[in-house]
Amino acid sequence: MDINSMRAFFMWCTIMNGGLLVLASLVFVFAGDWVFRMHGKMIPLTRESFNVAIYGFLGFFKIIVMVFNLVPYIALVIIG
């Protein structure tokens, strides 16, 4: 695998995972009550604990996308 194919791989991984992050953020912003009600049927949570869990999930997912997709892509762009 050469550097150009690795660069393309990490670019598309960053684009797809970034899109999933934006989509998840938009769902929780605009349909947060619906998601809370849906999960509330399965797990007894307060709205405050649900908000904390969602905030933690989105933050963790953002860090994972940056560390495992964006940073390798930037490193390959700099090297190439």
Q: What is the pLDDT of residues 12-66, one digit of tens each?
A: 999 999 999 999 999 999 999 999 999 999 999 999 999 999 999 999 999 999 9
- Provide the residue ranges of all domains of the chain, joining segments of one domain with +: 3-79
Q: With H, G, I as helix, E, B as strand and everything else as coil, classify residue 43.
A: coil
The pTM of the full predicted model, rounded to 2 decimals, is: 0.87
Q: What pLDDT sits at residue 80?
A: 86
Q: What pLDDT sits at residue 43?
A: 92
End-to-end C-alpha distance for the chain, whole angstroms: 14
What gap in Å lies between CA 10 and CA 77, rounded to an integer? Answer: 10
| 71 contacts 7 by C-beta, under 8 angstroms | no
